[in-house]
């Protein structure tokens, strides 16, 4: 199978899932063509002869006040499909990827039908913000719905997202739930010189390490992480490590100053790899307002880190309350702080939760379990 993958190359869950799926498919012998305006962030695992990258070039012309990315992407898909004989295009994120894929499929429909007896197939994976945010941009709504309806296959990363898409937007399309995944050979606690240095530096007074990673959008409620941390810090020695960047970064730094915890909070900014930090962290916070899956929490769980999360969206499908972590109402920082302390102050309970978290990540969300579901779905759609 020759597969085109369309994704955002930037820091964010949808690009990570798309890239890691492509890497896994290439390792299984498929030819994978990434098509984007930049090399996807995680496409750095070394050379593979089954992986190709096609950069969408943006021409500048005085008449074009705005970049015509969707059209440039569609044109690039046409080119890659023709020259490489793609069987299907997997669009991660409805807007604009599924829309550009639709346009490309129509442009080459006659030619591909003549050559292969069928058109290229389009599979769109919904990641969440394409529905929950982009869908709320009212002018995008008809395009978003149309692009989903016209895809040959649609997947969503959680039951929550499937139901929300079908009910809120009256999308009749059948949607297959295929959750996000981690490679357990990569996502596990490691021990090396860096982790030893981190342990010595961060935990010299028995501090517990609390971690949050996100793109610092308002819906991530990173300020809640600071408030939860302050309450935990009042009771036990602890540090809060924040990975990622985005519009709320400055506000969060100011809040940490205002609440008097700045010296115990480290803002690392965007990091491509933070396995060392996952290896020394004790607890992961994800207090989001909205979260279709919560890939960052899954990565933490795989490393045996229990999760304190909100009950938003698909988070309860991942984080089991009282087993792999605890769940509280969105914004209930008191409860989240109480739950954090409950785990961090009781080693026996902590160890059980830590084991549950890594087992759940491995048993249900490992590459071996999830990637074959995509492969089967590809075959099903190609045969349809």
Q: What residues line the site for ligand GMT (CB under 6 A)?
A: 12-15, 17, 127-129, 132, 157, 180, 215, 217, 219, 290-295
Instruction: Name the minimum Å distance from CB 224 to ligand GMT.
Output: 15
Residues 6 or more apart in contact with residue 261 via CB below 8 angstroms: 226, 229, 230, 233, 240
Instruction: Name the minimum Å distance from CB 121 to ligand GMT.
Output: 21
Of the pair 241, 312, the CB lying nearest ligand GMT is at: 312
Q: Identify the burial level of 114 via C-beta atoms within 10 angstroms of its C-beta, where 0-12 means exposed, 13-18 middle and 19 or more buried.
A: exposed
Of the pair 152, 291, the CB lying nearest ligand GMT is at: 291
CB 169 within 8 A of CB 135: yes
Token pair 């690392």: residue: 268
CB 41 within 8 A of CB 59: no
Of the pair 121, 221, the CB lying nearest ligand GMT is at: 221
Of the pair 293, 326, the CB lying nearest ligand GMT is at: 293
Instruction: Name the minimum Å distance from CB 254 to ligand GMT.
Output: 22
Token pair 């071996």: residue: 368
Of the pair 42, 127, the CB lying nearest ligand GMT is at: 127
Q: Alpha-carbon distance 367 to 7, whole Å?
A: 19
Q: Give the tokens for residue 311.
A: 């009950």
Of the pair 50, 70, the CB lying nearest ligand GMT is at: 70
What Cα–Cα distance (Å) separates residue 284 from each residue in 18, 70, 153, 252, 293?
23, 37, 34, 17, 15
Residues in the chain: 384
Instruction: Name the minimum Å distance from CB 71 to ligand GMT.
Output: 22
């Amino acid at each position: 199978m020759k597969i085109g993958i369309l994704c955002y190359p930037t820091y964010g869950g949808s690009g990570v899932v798309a890239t890691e799926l492509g890497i896994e498919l290439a390792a299984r012998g498929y030819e994978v063509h990434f098509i984007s305006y930049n090399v996807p962030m995680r496409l750095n695992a070394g050379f593979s002869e089954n992986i190709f990258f096609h950069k969408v070039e943006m021409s500048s012309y005085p008449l074009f006040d705005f970049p015509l990315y969707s059209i440039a992407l569609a044109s690039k898909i046409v080119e890659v499909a023709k020259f490489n004989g793609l069987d299907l295009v997997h669009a991660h994120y409805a807007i604009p990827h599924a829309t550009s894929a639709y346009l490309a499929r129509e442009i080459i429909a006659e030619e591909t039908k003549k050559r292969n007896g069928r058109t290229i197939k389009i599979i769109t994976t919904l990641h969440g913000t394409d529905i929950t945010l982009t869908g709320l941009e009212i002018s995008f709504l008809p395009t978003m719905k149309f692009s989903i309806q016209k895809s040959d296959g649609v997947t969503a990363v959680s039951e929550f997202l499937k139901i929300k898409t079908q009910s809120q937007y009256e999308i009749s399309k059948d949607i297959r739930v295929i959750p996000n995944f981690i490679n357990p050979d990569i996502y596990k606690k490691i021990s090396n010189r860096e982790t030893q240095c981190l342990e010595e530096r961060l935990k010299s007074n028995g501090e517990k390490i609390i971690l949050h990673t996100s793109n610092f959008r308002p819906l991530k409620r990173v300020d809640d992480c600071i408030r939860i941390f302050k309450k935990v810090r009042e009771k036990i020695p602890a540090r809060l490590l924040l990975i990622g960047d985005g519009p709320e970064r400055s506000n969060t730094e100011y809040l940490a100053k205002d609440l008097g915890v700045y010296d115990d909070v480290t803002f690392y900014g965007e990091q491509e790899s933070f396995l060392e930090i996952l290896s020394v962290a004790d607890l992961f916070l994800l207090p989001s307002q909205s979260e279709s899956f919560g890939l960052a929490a899954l990565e933490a769980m795989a490393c045996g880190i229990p999760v304190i999360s909100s009950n938003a969206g698909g988070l309860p499908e991942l984080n089991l309350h009282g087993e792999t972590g605890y769940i509280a109402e969105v914004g209930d920082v008191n409860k989240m702080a109480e739950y954090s302390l409950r785990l961090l102050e009781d080693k026996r309970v902590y160890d059980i939760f830590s084991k549950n978290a890594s087992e759940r990540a491995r048993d249900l969300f490992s590459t071996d379990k999830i990637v074959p579901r995509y492969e089967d779905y590809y075959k099903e759609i190609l045969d349809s």
